[in-house]
Amino acid sequence: MVTTNAGSAAASPGIASLRPGMVWIPGGAFRMGSEDFYPEERPMWEVRVDGFWIDRHPVTNRQFARFVAATGYVTVAEQPLDPAFYPGAPAENLVAGSMVFTPTSGPVDLRNAANWWAWTPGADWRHPRGPGSALDGLDEHPVVQVALADAEAYCAWIGAVLPTEVEWELAARGGLDGAVFAWGSEERPDGQFMANTWQGHFPWYNTEEDGFAYTSPVGSYPGNGYGLLDVAGNVWEWTTDWYTARRIGAGQACCTPDPRDGGERETSGNPQHARFRFPRKVVKGGSHLCAPSYCYRYRPAARQPQDINTGMSHLGFRCVVRIQ
């Protein structure tokens, strides 16, 4: 068993009025990871976590707008790219922007995400799908197009931090140790959609049976056992852990046996992009773009790497407070 130091399990949920909008997650042991889906989710092992507070839902556009109004904060996507990170890039390409999803016109090679993701000048949290988009009617949707530094700045402003991967996963499980989903082991109990995901053929045809083509207002689906909203689908969420693929080779021990260490920055980059080697953090929860045929990751055990220097149109966050 591995023990993390996320706070004091002796803290009382009775002080919830001190943490408006947050939910108390009691400490305890649970089985982290999964042996049944993607290799990076392995191995499953027992972890003990101390209690902590976590946002009931991802930070919304309304909440982030208050932060920006109070502080004058300028997000990473609103600043020109640093040429030091993009050696050889033409100056005219080093403009402010972010990554935007665009459905394709038909089936494409699912091994190449560049078929549906594009760097888009003018995309930022106020213009989540590019310069022609806006936040009209999206106040209660999760804020997106936030890089790691943006999420950390917001959390610091409210006196919080981003969760570790193990904290996020414990909270997302809602007390259901070992269940496939945050609500149990059946994806659609009694035919009910439990999360904002992709239906149809990714990335070109979404039937929108769940009612949403893009993000949805937080709380559009039932909460988990702790009352947390949107821990599956809608938007991926940042954690503090550097990404390491937890693969187990024949006769080898797991490369990251202790989730407390959070991985290493130097080894978190994508080896397939050795020219840039941007550090990557673990993101959790899946998004509205997840489909069983491509990204069956709207599950607590699922994890994915994310470059720290950019936001995306399906990436948000929530904060935690640890009681010392």
Q: What whole-number distance in Å separates Cα of residue 17 and Cα of residue 235?
A: 27
pLDDT for the residue numbered 20: 83
| Cβ within 8 Å of residue 211, ≥6 positions away | 193, 220
Residue 262 has pLDDT above 70, yes or no: no
Whether the CB-CB separation of 235 and 287 falls below 8 Å is answered with yes
State mean pLDDT over 143-160: 97
User: Which domains, ranges and CATH numbers included, belong to the chain?
Assistant: 2-321 (3.90.1580.10)
Alpha helix segments (H runs only) across 96-192? 148-157, 165-173
Question: Between 163 and 261, whose confidence is greater?
Answer: 163
The answer to which of 85-94, 224-233, 254-263, 286-295 has the lowest mean pLDDT is 254-263
> From CA 227, how far away is CA 219, in angstroms rounded?
10
Q: Global pTM?
A: 0.88
**Long-range CB pairs of 126-131, under 8 A, 24+ apart, other chains included:** 128/100, 128/215, 128/313, 129/100, 129/101, 129/214, 129/313, 130/100
- Joined together, the tokens standing for residue 134 give 């806006």
